[in-house]
Structure 1
Amino acid sequence: MIRLAVVSGKGGTGKTMVTAALADVSAVPQVLADCDVDAANLSLLLDPRRISTEEFRGLAAARIDLERCRDCGICADHCRFGAIVRRDDAWTVEALHCEGCGVCTYVCPMGAVSMEPRVCGEIYVSGTEMGDLAHARLFPGSGNSGLLVTGVKKRALARSAGRDLLLADGPPGIGCPLIATVGGMDAVLVVTEPGVSALHDLERLVTVCRRFGVRIFVAINRFDLAEDICKRIEDYCGREGITVAGKIPFDPAVVAAVRGGWPVTRTDSSAAKALRALRDNLFSELGLP
C-alpha cells in the first residue's frame, strides 16, 4: 500500500480541494484520512456517513477534590498560568488555562489536586463513495493536535486491509501536526501557488519533509495567475530534483464545486482536466494503476 499525504507550506493553496479530487479519480481501493484536525474540511466534499465516534483525550488537566481541600490557596499562588481561580467560595481549575504542568499537585499539602486526562476532541470513522474516511474534531481552545493526527492515522490504517492507497489531507505549515502527518508516509504532494510567500513556505516544507525520507512531488494551483512566479517555483523544483506533477489553472468551477460540496473532478472544467492529469502523473511515479 502506498501512503500519500497532500500537504502545503501555507494555508489557502487548495490542498483539500486537490485531496478530494485525487480521491474522486484515484480508481484504486483506498482509505482516506483528514489530518488537518485544527480545521478539518475534507468531509465537506465527500458526503460522509458516520460509522463510529470516539473521545480524544489529550494531556491531563488539574482537578481539585473539594472534600480534601483546606482552602489554603497555595496551589493558586504557584500556578504560573492563572488556571486556579476562586468561584462560588471554592478553588476550581479553568481547564482552558491549565497547561498540565502538575505543579499544583506537588505543592498541595493535603494532596487534594490530581491530574486527569481531559477530553479535547472526537475521532470519527465515516463511509464515503470513495472509501472509509478517518477524521476528527478538535474542540476550541484544546491543544495536542499532533496527538490527534496520530489517532486519525491509526484509525485509517486499521481500515486499510486490501487497500492500495492511504490518502491523507495534511495540515498547512511545518509544525507538530505536519510532522505527525508525514511520519510513516511514502510520499507527499505539496500543493503550492504562485506567490512569493508560497515559494518561501514551499522551501521550508521541503526541508522538513526530507528529514523523513519521503518522496516529494509538487502541484502548482492557480499557476496562470502569476506565471513569472510559477516559473520561479518550477526552477526551484528543478534545482532540488523535485517533480512538478501537475499545474492547475484558475477556474471558477473550483469555487462552485466547493460551495456545492463535491469534488471539482465531477465537472467538465479546465481544472478537472488538469487534476486528472495530475493523478495520472503522480500515480505513474508511485507505481499505482
Structure 2
Amino acid sequence: MRQLAIISGKGGCGKTTLTAAFSSLSGNAVLADCDVDASDLPLILKPQVLKTEDCLGLELASIDLNLCTGCGICRETCRFGAVLENFTINPYGCEGCAVCTVACPENAVSLMPRVSGQAVSSITRFGPMAHAKLGTGEEASGKLVNLVRKKAVELADRYSCKLVLIDGPPGTGCPVMAAITGTDLVLVLSEPTVSGLHDLKRAIELTAYFKIPTVACINKYDLNEKKGLEIEAFCREAGIPLLARLPYADITTEAMMMEETVIEYAAHSGDTGAVEFANIVRNLWAEIEIRLSETFNNEICPKASGSGNLNFSE
C-alpha cells in the first residue's frame, strides 16, 4: 500500500482541491482528510458515514464537590484561570496540567478523560474516506490525525485499496508531522508570494528531516511569475522535482460550489479554461503515479534522503 501526503506551508494553497481531483482519477484509493481543524473534503464528496470513534485528548480536571471545602488553593495555583468561582472547571480553559490535583489538600481534584473529537469512517462516490470532527475549542492534535490515518489504513485493507491519499493540514507543526510520517511521497504546494516561498522552504526542511521523497507544485503561478521563477530556482537547488505549474482559475471555486471535483466540473462545464486546467491536473497525477510506482532512492529526492539538517534560509 502506498501513501501520498499533500501539504503546504500555509492554508489556501489548494490541497483539498487537488486531493479531491486525484481521488476521481486514482480509481482505487482511500482518502484521509487529516486537516482535522477544518475538514473540507466532506463538503465536496458528501460521504456516507459508516462509523465514528471518539478520540481522547488532554485530560480535564474535575472537582468532587462532596470533598471540596472551598479553600480556593486550586484556583490560586491554576495559571490558566480554569477554576471558576463555584469550584467547577471551565473546560475551554483547562490544559490538563494536573497542578490543581497536587495542590488540593483534600484530594478533591482529579483528571478525567476528555473527548477531543471523532474520527469518521465513510464512503464517497470515489471510494472510502476517513476524516475527523474536532470538538469546539480543541486543538488540532497529532493524536487525532494519527487516528484518522489509522482508520484510512483499515479502510484500505477492508476494500483492498492500494493507495491512501492524505489531505494534510497547513503549516509544519505537530499535525503535519503526524500526517506525513511513514508516507511514500509528499507533494508540497506553494504559491508565488514571499510567504509562499518562505513556507515552502519550511515544509521541505520538514520532509527532509523525516527523509521522505518530496515533489512540488506551484499553484496560481501566473499571479507573480517573477516569484514563481524564484520558487523554481529554489526547487532546483534543493533537488525537489517541480511537477506542475497551475494557473489561477475560477474553476476551483465553481467546482467546489457545485460539490464537484475540478475533473468532474470540467467534464460537463464546456468551458475551455476548465478543460485546460483539468488536463494539467491529469498530467500532474500521471507524474505522481510514476513516482509512487518506483522504488524511491536518492535520485528522486537527493537532499530529502540526507542528514535532515537542511537550512534553506532567505
Mapped contact 1:247–1:278 kept (Cα < 8 A): no
Q: Establish whether residue 274 from structure 1 lines up as the match of residue 280 from structure 2.
A: yes
Q: Which runs of 5+ in 1 are unaligned?
A: none
**Identity between Structure 1 and Structure 2 (%):** 43
Looking at structure 2, the residues matched to 73 and 120 of structure 1 have their Cα atoms a distance apart, in angstroms, of 28
Instruction: Output one character per residue of 1:187-223: Cα deviation in whole Å (capped at 9) or x when no partner.
Output: 1001111111101100111001111111101111111
Provide the residue aligned with 1:247 in structure 2. 245
- Structure 1's consecutive aligned runs of 4 or more residues displaced over 2 angstroms after TM superposition are none
Alignment of 1:1-150 (within 5 A): 1-27=1-27, 29-87=28-86, 91-143=87-139, 145-150=141-146
How far, CA to CA, are the matches of 2:147 and 2:291 in structure 1? 29
SS in 1 for 2:119: strand
Higher strand share: 1
Amino acid at match of 2:71: C
2:2/2:184 contact within 8 Å kept = yes
Contact 2:54 2:119 in 1 (8 A): yes
Task: Judge which range, 201-210 or 264-273, deviates more.
Answer: 264-273
Query: Equivalents in 1 of 2:101, 2:249: separation in Å?
Result: 57
Q: Give the distance between the partners of 2:46 and 2:79, measured in 1 at CA.
A: 45
Q: Secondary structure at the match of 1:251?
A: coil
Return the alpha-carbon distance in structure 2 between the equivalents of residues 120 and 171 of structure 1: 17
- Alignment map for 1:116-265 (pairs within 5 Å): 116-143=112-139, 145-161=141-157, 162-265=160-263
Give the TM-score normalised by the residue count of structure 2.
0.88
2:114 aligned counterpart, secondary structure? strand
> Which amino acid letter does the alignment assign opposite residue 150 of structure 1?
N
The C-alpha deviation readout for 1:228-286, integer Å capped at 9, x for no partner, is 21111111111111111112122222210011111011114221111001001111122
Q: Post-superposition shift, 1:144?
A: 5.3
Whole-Å Cα distance in 1 between the matches of residues 164 and 15 of structure 2?
Answer: 16
Unmatched tracts of structure 2, length 5 or more: 268-273, 295-314
Tell me by how many angstroms 1:76 deviates: 0.9
What is the alpha-carbon distance in structure 1 between the residues aligned to residue 252 and residue 73 of structure 2?
Answer: 58
| 1:9-40 alpha-carbon deviations (Å, 9 max, x no partner) | 1111111101111111113x211100001111
Partner SS state of residue 44, structure 1: helix
Once the two structures are TM-superposed, the CA of residue 140 in structure 1 deviates from its matched residue by: 2.2
Secondary structure in 1 matching 2:71: coil
The amino acid of 2:227's aligned partner reads I
Tell me: CA distance 1:14–1:122, structure 2 relative to 1, closer, same or farther (3 Å): same
Distance 1:14 1:156, change over 3 A: same
User: 1-side partners of 2:192 and 2:222: how far apart?
Assistant: 8
Question: 1:122/1:106 Cα in 2 relative to 1: closer, same or farther (>3 Å)?
Answer: same
2: CA distance, partners of 1:200 / 1:81: 34
Deviations 1:109-150 (A, max 9, x none): 111111011111111111012221110011221125211101
Q: Distance in 2 between matches of 1:15 and 1:75?
A: 45
Amino acid at match of 2:122: S
Structure-1 residue corresponding to 2:304: none
1:135 maps to amino acid:
H
Structure with higher RCO (Cα < 8 A, 6+ apart)? 1
Q: Is the 8 A contact 1:249 1:274 kept in 2?
A: no
Amino acid at match of 1:243: P
TM superposition score normalised by structure 1: 0.95
User: What count of residue pairs does the alignment treat as equivalent?
Assistant: 284
Secondary structure class of the residue paired with 2:111: strand
1:41 offset after TM fit, Å?
A: 0.5
What is the distance in 2 between the residues matched to 1:129 and 1:213? Answer: 34
Partner SS, residue 38 of structure 1: coil
